[in-house]
Structure 1
Amino acid sequence: MNRSGKTADTMEGSGLTISASSIKVNEATLDEDTLVFSITSQKLSNGMGVCVCRTYEDFEWLQQSLFAPDEPDLHGVIFPPLPAKLIMSPQSQINNKTLKQLGFLALGDCCRTYCEALELYLQQVALHPILSKNKALETLLTNTESPGKQRAKKGIFNRLSQVMEEKRKESHKDVDDFFQNERDNNSNMTALTKVTTERFLDVVLAEQRLSVASKHLSSSIQLWVNQEDSANAAFSKICLKTSKVFETIKRNFEKTAENNISTLGLGLDLQSRYQEAEKEMLFRRTCKLVELEAANKNTERAKANKKGIMEEVRNVLEKQFDGMSSMARQEVGRFHQSRVALLRTALVSWCEQQLNTATEIAALYSEHLEACQKLPEE
C-alpha cells in the first residue's frame, strides 16, 4: 500500500510505460538560484531504472501540457494540483510571504517535504486514467533534455481577465442539482480545510519554537557546570542531568514537529490544493453552462436567415457541455474516493510515527528518572 491508498497492482495508467509507484523525487539541489530535482522511475516492461533532473519550470510545462483547450471533455477533469514554486532565499530563511504561500511545503529539512509534494503530484498524474495517456508525462520522466523551455508563459492580463470572469460567473445558478450541491459542498470544504491546515501549521511552528527554546535552555544550564570546583561537584552533576533532560525535551518537540509535517501536514496541504482544483473544474463547467444559455437565447432571438447558423453553434456547445458534465461526474466520484483514501493514509501514518516517537521519548525519560534517583547516592 502506498500513500495514494492504492496497491501497486492498480496504480499503472493504461498509456504509461513507467511504473507509477516507482516515481520518486529524491532530492533537490541548488544550482546558483535554481532548484534542480532528481527524479527516478522504473520501466514497466523490464524494470530498468530511469533518472532525470528537472526544474520547477518543467513541472509547469507538464501541467500546461495536460490541459488541452481543444478537447472539451478534458475541461471536466480535476487536474492534480501542482504546488506553488519554492523560492530559496540566500540565507535559506523562511519569511512570512513564503510561509503563507506554501505552508507546510516551506518547512522540512533540505526541501524534503517539498520533494514529497512534487512526488505525490507526479504519482497522481500517473494514476489518472486519462492524464496518464498524455505523452508529456513520459517525456518529463524519461527524456534527458529539459522540456521546460517550451513552456508558454501566461501574461498578467490573462489572469486579470480570469479573476473578473470568476466574479461574474461564480454565483451563477446551476441547472443540475448534483453540480449545484457539489459547488456548495466544495465552497464549505475549501474554507474548512484551509482553516484546519492553518491551525495545524500553527501547532507545528509552536513545536519548532519550543524545540529551539529547549535547546537554548539546555545550553544555558551547561554553562553553570564547573567540573574543576570539587565544592560544587554535586550541583554540577544536577546541572548536567537537567541539561540532558532538556535535550530530550528538545528532541521530543523536534521529532513531533517532523512527524506532523511529513504525514498529516502534507496530507492536509494536498487536501487543500485538491479542493481548489475541484473548484476550478466546477467553475470551468459553469462558464460553459453560461455560454450554452447565451447561445440558446441568441438562437431564440435570431432572424430566419441566421437561425440555422445559431442552431449549429448551440448544438456544438450543447455537445461539449454534455461531454464535459459526463466527465465531471466521473471525476467528482474519483475525487471523493481518492480524498478519503489519502486522508486516511496520512492519519494512519501520523498516528504510527507519533506512537513510535512517544515510545522512544518515554524510554529516554525513564532513563533520566532513574539517573536522577541515583543522584543522592552519588
Structure 2
Amino acid sequence: MLEEGSVSGASSGASSPEPEEPFIPKFKVQFSDNVNKDGDSVKFTLQVLQDGLMSHVLEREFEDFEYLDHCVSTGQASRGLIIPPIPQRSAIDPYNAEIQSKRLMGKGSKTLIADEFHKDCQQLQKYLELLLSHPVLGKNEKLHDFLNEKTPPPRTKVKKGLMSKLSDTLDARKSSYPDSEEFFQKERDWVTKYQPAIAHTSEAFNKITCAQLRISHQLEQMVTALKVSTCPNDQVYNRQYNNINAIFLDCMDKLKNETEAKGNQEDMELGSTVGLWSRYLQAENNMLLDRTCLMVDYQSCNRALDKAKPNRKEAAEKAKKEAEVAFEECSDTARQEIKHFQRQRVQEMRECVERYAAFQLTSARTSLNALSIAFNQIKAINL
C-alpha cells in the first residue's frame, strides 16, 4: 500500500532521452511594418520563410492568434508542456485607448498615445518563434496550417463554459497539495515566490517607462513655449536673450528626443522581456498544476485499488495503471520542459539586462554631451 505522500515505488525521475539531433523549425516568420487598421480590426502582415527563402505573405488579425493559442493549448496529446503565452492585446478602440493614455500620461492629460503596432508585431513574432522552436509544439498541425493557408482560421470567440470554470476551480484547490518528488516541490515553491516578484518588477518597470514618456511630453511643451518666447532683435539684450533661448531650446529638443527614444527602446527591450517571462511563469504554473492533478488522481486510484472488492479489482487495477502511465509520462516531459525553460529564461534575461545597461550608458553620455555643448555655448556669449 502506498503512503499518502507517495506516488509509486518506481521513481518517475528517469529523464526522457535527449534527441539525437537538435530540432530545426520548419518555418520562420517575420512581421512587416505594414499594419492595416480599419475600425476595431487590425491586420498584421507576416512573411513566412522556408529553407531560408520567403515562401508567402499572410494577413492575420489578433483574434486569429487567440484561436491558434486555444488550438495549441488544448490540442496536445502529451501533457507536461509549458505553452508559450500569447501577448496581451493592445487597446485599439477610442474608449480603451483614452483609458490607456490617461494611465500612461496622467489622469489630467488630454494627450492620446498613438497606436504602437510595432510593439504588437515584435511580441507576436516572438510568440510564433517560441512555438516554432519548440520540439513538440513546432510540429503542431494547427500551427503549420496557420502559417500555410492564406485564409485565416475561423474567428470563433473562445469562451469557457460553466462546467469548465467549475473544473478549474476544483483543480486550483489542489495547488497546495504536497508533491511526491522533491524536484517538482522545489519548482512549485520557487514559482510561488518568483511569480509575484517578476510581476511586480514588470509593473514597476512600466511605471518608469510611463514616467519617461511624461517627461518627454513635458519637455516638448517646454520647447513649444520657448519657441514663442522670442523677443524683437531691436535691442542688444534682446538679441542676447534670443541667442541663449535658441541654444537652450535646441538642447531641450535633443533631450526630449533622447528621452522619448530611451523610453521606447527600454520598453521594447527589457520591458517586453520581463512582461514575457511574467506571463511565461503563469504558463509554467498551469503546467505544474495539471501535473499535480494527475498525481492526486493517481493516488486516488491507488487507494481505490486497495479498497476494491474482488469483483472490481480488475477495473481498479486498470484505472490505476492508466493513471500511473499518464502521471509518469507527464512528469518526464515536465522535467525536461522545466530545465529548458529555466536555461532559456536565465539566458534571455541576462542578455537583455546587459543590453539595457549598455543602452543606459550610451543614453546618459548622449544627454551629458548635449548639456555640455549648450553650457559651453552659453558661456561663450558676451553678456
Instruction: Return the match for 2:187 from 159, 182, 190.
Output: 182
1:201 Cα deviation after fit: 1.1
Deviates more, 1:250-259 or 1:272-281: 250-259
Identity of aligned residues (%): 24
Q: Which amino acid aligns with 1:317?
A: A
TM-score normalised over the length of structure 1: 0.85
Secondary structure, aligned partner of 1:23? strand
Which runs of structure 2 are paired with 1:263-278 in the superposition (5 Å)? 263-278=269-284
Deviates more, 1:232-241 or 1:137-146: 232-241
Given the alignment of the two structures, is residue 300 of structure 1 paired with residue 306 of structure 2, yes or no? Answer: yes
Q: What is the match of residue 351 of structure 1?
A: 357
C-alpha distance 24-222 of structure 1, shift in aligned 2 (>3 A):
closer
Q: Which amino acid aligns with 2:73?
A: F
Q: What is the match of residue 164 of structure 1?
A: 169
Q: CA–CA distance in 2 between the matches of 1:165 and 1:325?
A: 21
RMSD: 2.6
Q: Is the 8 A contact 2:47 2:54 kept in 1?
A: no
Per-residue CA distance 1:8-50 (angstroms, 9 max, x = gap): xxx9844x432x3x53364532122111111112111x62342
Secondary structure, aligned partner of 1:298? helix
Per-residue CA distance 1:98-119 (angstroms, 9 max, x = gap): 979xxxxxx8863211211111
Q: What is the match of residue 125 of structure 1?
A: 131
Q: CA–CA distance in 1 between the matches of 2:374 and 2:154?
A: 55
Which runs of structure 2 are paired with 1:315-330 in the superposition (5 Å)? 315-330=321-336
Per-residue CA distance 1:145-176 (angstroms, 9 max, x = gap): 00143x57223525632442244211111111
Secondary structure, aligned partner of 2:82? coil
Given the alignment of the two structures, is residue 47 of structure 1 paired with residue 53 of structure 2, yes or no? Answer: yes
Q: Is the 8 A contact 1:87 1:98 kept in 2?
A: no
Secondary structure, aligned partner of 1:48? strand
Q: Is the 8 A contact 2:202 2:271 kept in 1?
A: yes
Q: CA–CA distance in 1 between the matches of 2:318 and 2:324?
A: 10
Q: Which amino acid aligns with 2:47?
A: T
Secondary structure, aligned partner of 1:170? coil
C-alpha distance 48-205 of structure 1, shift in aligned 2 (>3 A):
closer
Per-residue CA distance 1:61-95 (angstroms, 9 max, x = gap): 22222235572xx2200011111222312277352
Q: Is the 8 A contact 1:28 1:110 kept in 2?
A: no
Q: Which amino acid aligns with 2:380?
A: K
Q: CA–CA distance in 1 between the matches of 2:49 and 2:55?
A: 4
Instruction: Return the match for 1:361 from 357, 362, 367.
Output: 367
Q: CA–CA distance in 1 between the matches of 2:102 and 2:69?
A: 22
Q: CA–CA distance in 2 between the matches of 1:200 and 1:50?
A: 38
Q: Which runs of 5+ in 1 are unaligned?
A: 1-10, 101-106
Q: CA–CA distance in 2 between the matches of 1:70 and 1:17?
A: 18
1:236 Cα deviation after fit: 2.4
Say which structure is richer in helix. Answer: 1
Q: CA–CA distance in 2 between the matches of 1:114 and 1:185?
A: 30
Q: CA–CA distance in 2 between the matches of 1:285 and 1:68?
A: 15
Q: Which runs of 5+ in 2 are unaligned?
A: 1-20, 105-112
Q: What is the match of residue 79 of structure 2?
A: 75
1:325 Cα deviation after fit: 0.4
Secondary structure, aligned partner of 2:152? coil
Q: What is the match of residue 116 of structure 2?
A: 110
Secondary structure, aligned partner of 2:37? strand
Q: CA–CA distance in 1 between the matches of 2:182 and 2:32?
A: 41
Q: Which amino acid aligns with 1:86?
A: S
Which runs of structure 2 are paired with 1:239-278 in the superposition (5 Å)? 239-278=245-284
Q: Which amino acid aligns with 2:57?
A: C
Secondary structure, aligned partner of 1:154? coil
Given the alignment of the two structures, is residue 33 of structure 1 paired with residue 40 of structure 2, yes or no? Answer: yes
Q: What is the match of residue 65 of structure 1?
A: 71
Q: Which amino acid aligns with 1:155?
A: K
Q: Which amino acid aligns with 1:241?
A: I
Secondary structure, aligned partner of 2:190? helix
Q: CA–CA distance in 2 between the matches of 1:41 and 1:219?
A: 45
Q: What is the match of residue 17 of structure 1?
A: 26
